[in-house]
């Protein structure tokens, strides 16, 4: 019965809750004043004249406006902070003083005498009744210290601003909010929305006292560097960190619990964002027909999403994987004003490539189709060469022959001094594109062929991040090749945006290098992912940790570190601060053509040993020639 009544009261609109509270205070203060007279005269008779009733009613009529003015009806009773008790004392004191003044003026008009002890008794009883009623209501309607509270997950909200208070309102019915954390010292130890604000250093105490397992970041306008620092500090405590979307992604109005998302590992990169150069994007995309090969892959699909936002005339989705093509087509179909054309075919199928380009009048090709997983390509060298080398040649030849204006190859840092088949095939792809650019320049066609080289993108199909996530979900261990291994990382969204802008900067034959920042230890990446999951790393110093990290040794073809440049001194800046130009067009020669012919014969004969030899021999010859040409 009590539980039903409690639920009904809580379900009332805020207006009616205030009406009930005001009505209670009116009756309570009237009763308190009558009780004050009764205690003074030791007589408990009800008022028997109009003047006596007027005197009794005067107390709440004076007090209620004061209570309203001092905000006693703005606070939600079940979240009433202790600081509000002092406000009640002040409000009751002022109300008693004003009533004494009114009573003194009434006595001067002959309307009765007020004993000096009555105001003191009235103030004492009134303060006790009003304060006690709030505390009882808080105990009844806010299950602090009760079993119901223990069933709710305890969370801390980082950020006591407007976003944080709105989030707290959304979460109160489903979570116990242990407190706010905020960087602003002026807010520390104060109450916001009935919740105490603490400095970030107080988090361990909240974890210990309330069993907090989750911190929600409600700081949508904070800088990327500060966000990275906050997440790193919080994750040291083995707590799951979640976040509201960035300020540009939030919809005006009340925050929804569904908007809270997990902190992704790319948010710890701390990379400074650079707004896109809209002129470069417009030149490359707007009003043009774009074809993306490998459109269903991680890089290709993100390119398609970015391109779709910038109003192309048509977007041709060229993909050999049926399910991947279906997914990206369905995703783009939900967008307005995007004419997406799915083409199910392999880049090694010359007829299908030529038909797709001619039939749709393709202006720009982003060639993202490739086998990228280093160990798999190493174990399947012939297929890797066929797809990455001859697939690139097929698409580049078709683009050149059919008047495609811009061709952009998606390359990799593994193409620099490659030690594995995948990296070597991408180096061949760069050489093919560079040769095609030289042909276009010699024929004066105005076509531009270039490559964009960058490191690992977080969340791509070849990234270690999905593997680490899966291993963490299974309880570990996380396996990595070598604790000293480093890699360059960037977010897949940033990579796609920079690829488009780099293509617009092409002069023909360029190899563009994206600014990847500083290389990251794979060990640090793994440890950060463990902490973001709200877990701890098991080490000799922390044998009770949740997840162990094990080094299993390098796999075939892997390097401890990757490079973006053959010679960093040759890279020059462009108008975009995160895009550098590596190499220019070189004259056409017969070395590449001869090796392609030999490689084709090796593939026809399924001679993997010869194919591997040719693969690295060409790279050695071309690197030696480029080195001689630069001296």
CATH number of the structural domain spanning residue 195: 3.40.50.720
**Domain contains 556:** no
Q: Give the DSSP letter of residue 369.
A: -
Mean pLDDT of 561-565: 60
Q: How confident is residue 147, by pLDDT bands cut at 50, 70 and 90?
A: very low
346 contact partners, CB below 8 Å, separation of at least 6: 320, 352, 387, 391
Provide the CA 431 distance to its chain's centre, in angstroms.
37
- Residue keyed to tokens 């043009």: 288
Q: Domain boundary residue among 141, 168, 195?
A: 141
User: Among 52-61, 370-379, 475-484, 557-566, which stretch is predicted with the lowest mean pLDDT?
Assistant: 557-566
**Domain contains 548:** no
With a cut of 90, say whether residue 382 has pLDDT above it.
yes
Does residue 580 sit in the same domain as residue 440? yes
Residue of 499, 159, 539 lying closest to 304 (CA atoms): 499
With a cut of 50, say whether residue 258 has pLDDT above it.
no
Q: Give the DSSP letter of residue 520.
A: E
How does pLDDT run across 580-610, given as a tens digit for each residue?
887 654 655 678 888 889 999 999 999 999 9
**Domain contains 555:** no
Q: How confident is residue 566, by pLDDT bands cut at 50, 70 and 90?
A: low
Mean pLDDT of 10-30: 75
Most confident of 22-36, 313-327, 584-598: 313-327
How distant, in Å, are the alpha carbons of 399, 580, 581, 617 from that of 624? 29, 23, 20, 11
Report whether the peptide linkage leading into residue 303 is cis, meaning its omega lies within 30 degrees of zero: no
Determine whether 373 is exposed, middle or buried from the number of CB atoms within 10 Å of its CB (0-12, 13-18, 19+). middle
With a cut of 50, say whether residue 250 has pLDDT above it.
no
pLDDT at 461: 57
With a cut of 70, say whether residue 111 has pLDDT above it.
no
User: Among 34-38, 107-111, 192-196, 410-414, which stretch is predicted with the lowest mean pLDDT?
Assistant: 107-111
Mean pLDDT of 188-211: 79
**Domain contains 473:** no
Does residue 133 sit in the same domain as residue 255? no
Determine whether 482 is exposed, middle or buried from the number of CB atoms within 10 Å of its CB (0-12, 13-18, 19+). middle
Q: Is this structure's pTM higher than 0.75? A: no
Residue of 441, 436, 438, 424 lying closest to 622 (CA atoms): 424
**Domain contains 208:** yes
With a cut of 70, say whether residue 269 has pLDDT above it.
no
How does pLDDT run across 488-530, given as a tens digit for each residue?
677 778 788 888 888 888 888 888 888 776 777 777 777 777 7
User: Among 7-21, 270-284, 402-416, 533-547, which stretch is predicted with the lowest mean pLDDT?
Assistant: 7-21
d(CA 100, CA 113): 11
Q: Domain boundary residue among 233, 263, 293?
A: 263
pLDDT at 344: 95
Phi, psi of 171 (to 5 degrees): -95, -15
Residue of 449, 465, 431 lying closest to 621 (CA atoms): 431
d(CA 606, CA 615): 14
Mean pLDDT of 608-622: 87
Does residue 175 sit in the same domain as residue 133? no
Does residue 257 sit in the same domain as residue 358? no
d(CA 332, CA 334): 5
Across all residues in the chain, what is the average pLDDT? Answer: 78
pLDDT at 90: 82
Strands 340-344 and 547-551: what pairing? unpaired
Does residue 95 sit in the same domain as residue 47? yes
Q: Which residue has the higher pLDDT, 359 or 556?
A: 359
In three state form, how does the secondary structure of 379-447 look? Answer: HCHHHHHHHHHHHHHHHHHHHHHCCCCEEEEECCHHHCCCCCHHHHHHHHHHHHHHHHHHHHHHHCCCC
pLDDT at 467: 75
Does residue 437 sit in the same domain as residue 362? yes
User: Among 64-73, 155-164, 490-499, which stretch is predicted with the lowest mean pLDDT?
Assistant: 64-73
With a cut of 60, say whether residue 273 has pLDDT above it.
no
Does residue 253 sit in the same domain as residue 347? no
**Domain contains 524:** no
Does residue 84 sit in the same domain as residue 157? no
Q: Which domain holds residue 76?
A: 2-141
d(CA 489, CA 492): 9
pLDDT at 268: 57
570 contact partners, CB below 8 Å, separation of at least 6: 582, 583, 630
- Residue keyed to tokens 């009573």: 103
Does residue 11 sit in the same domain as residue 125? yes
Q: Where are the beta strands (DSSP E) in 285-371?
A: 289-293, 314-319, 340-344, 364-367
User: Among 152-156, 565-569, 607-611, which stretch is predicted with the lowest mean pLDDT?
Assistant: 565-569
pLDDT at 158: 85
Q: Which residue has the higher pLDDT, 184 or 353?
A: 353
**Length of the chain counted residue by residue:** 631
pLDDT at 144: 45
Does residue 222 sit in the same domain as residue 300? no
With a cut of 60, say whether residue 247 has pLDDT above it.
no
Strands 579-581 and 511-514: what pairing? antiparallel
104's torsion region: left (phi>0), alpha (psi -120 to 50) or beta? alpha
pLDDT at 628: 58
Does residue 125 sit in the same domain as residue 179? no
**Domain contains 478:** no
d(CA 259, CA 313): 33
d(CA 421, CA 388): 10
- In total, how many domains does the chain have? 3
Q: How confident is residue 293, by pLDDT bands cut at 50, 70 and 90?
A: very high
**Domain contains 553:** no
Does residue 135 sit in the same domain as residue 151? no
Q: Domain boundary residue among 263, 296, 320?
A: 263
Mean pLDDT of 259-276: 58
User: Among 134-143, 219-228, 556-565, which stretch is predicted with the lowest mean pLDDT?
Assistant: 556-565
């Amino acid at each position: 019965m009590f539980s039903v009544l409690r639920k009904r009261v809580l379900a009332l609109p805020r207006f009616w809750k205030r009406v009930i509270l005001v009505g209670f205070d009116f009756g309570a203060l009237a009763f308190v004043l009558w009780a004050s007279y009764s205690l003074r005269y030791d007589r408990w008779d009800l008022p028997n004249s109009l003047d006596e009733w007027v005197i009794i009613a005067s107390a709440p009529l004076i007090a209620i406006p004061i209570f309203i003015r001092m905000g006693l009806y703005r606070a939600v009773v079940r979240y009433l902070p202790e600081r509000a008790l002092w406000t009640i004392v002040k409000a009751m004191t002022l109300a008693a003083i004003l009533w004494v003044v009114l009573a003194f003026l009434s006595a001067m008009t002959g309307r009765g005498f007020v004993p000096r002890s009555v105001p003191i008794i009235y103030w004492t009883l009134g303060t006790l009744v009003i304060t006690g009623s709030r505390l009882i209501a808080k105990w009844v309607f806010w299950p602090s210290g009760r079993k119901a509270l223990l069933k709710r997950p305890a969370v801390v909200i980082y950020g006591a601003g407007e976003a944080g208070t709105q989030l707290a309102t959304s979460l109160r019915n489903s979570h116990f909010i242990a407190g706010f954390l905020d960087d602003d010292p002026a807010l520390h130890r104060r109450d916001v929305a009935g919740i105490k604000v603490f400095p970030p250093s107080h988090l361990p105490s909240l974890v210990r006292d309330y069993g907090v397992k989750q911190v929600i970041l409600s700081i949508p306008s904070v800088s990327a560097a500060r966000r990275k620092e906050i997440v790193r500090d919080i994750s040291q405590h083995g707590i799951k960190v979640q976040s509201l979307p960035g300020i540009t992604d939030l919809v005006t109005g009340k925050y929804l619990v569904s908007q809270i998302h997990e902190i992704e590992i790319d948010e710890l990169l701390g990379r400074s964002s650079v707004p896109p150069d809209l002129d470069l994007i417009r030149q490359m995309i707007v009003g043009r027909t774009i074809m993306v090969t490998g459109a269903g892959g991680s890089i290709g699909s993100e390119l398609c999403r970015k391109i779709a936002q910038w109003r192309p005339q048509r977007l041709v989705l060229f993909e050999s994987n049926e399910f991947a093509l279906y997914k990206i087509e369905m995703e783009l179909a939900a967008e307005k004003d995007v004419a997406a054309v799915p083409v199910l075919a392999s880049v090694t199928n010359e007829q299908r490539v030529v038909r797709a380009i001619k039939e749709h009048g393709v202006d720009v090709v982003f060639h993202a189709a490739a086998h990228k997983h280093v160990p798999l390509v190493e174990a399947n060298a012939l297929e890797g060469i066929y797809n990455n080398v001859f697939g690139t040649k097929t698409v580049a030849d078709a683009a050149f022959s059919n008047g495609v204006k811009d061709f952009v190859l998606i390359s990799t840092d593994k193409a620099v001094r490659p030690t594995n088949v995948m990296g070597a095939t991408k180096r061949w792809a760069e050489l093919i594109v560079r040769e095609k650019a030289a042909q276009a320049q010699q024929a004066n066609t105005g076509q531009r062929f270039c490559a964009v080289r960058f490191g690992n993108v977080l969340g791509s199909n070849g990234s270690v991040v999905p593997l680490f996530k899966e291993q963490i979900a299974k309880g570990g261990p996380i396996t990595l090749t070598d604790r000293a291994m480093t890699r360059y990382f960037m977010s897949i969204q940033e990579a796609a945006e920079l690829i488009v802008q780099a293509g617009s900067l092409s002069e023909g034959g360029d190899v563009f290098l994206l600014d990847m920042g500083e290389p990251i230890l794979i060990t640090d990446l793994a440890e950060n992912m463990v902490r973001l999951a709200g877990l701890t790393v098991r080490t000799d110093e922390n044998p009770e940790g949740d997840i162990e990290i094990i080094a299993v040794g390098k796999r075939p073809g892997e390097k401890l570190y990757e490079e973006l440049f053959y010679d960093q001194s040759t890279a020059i800046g462009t108008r975009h601060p995160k895009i550098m130009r590596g190499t220019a067009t070189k004259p056409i020669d017969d070395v590449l053509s001869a090796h392609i012919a030999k490689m084709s014969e090796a593939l026809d004969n399924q001679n993997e040993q010869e194919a591997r030899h040719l693969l690295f021999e060409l790279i050695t010859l071309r690197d030696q020639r480029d080195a001689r040409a630069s001296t």
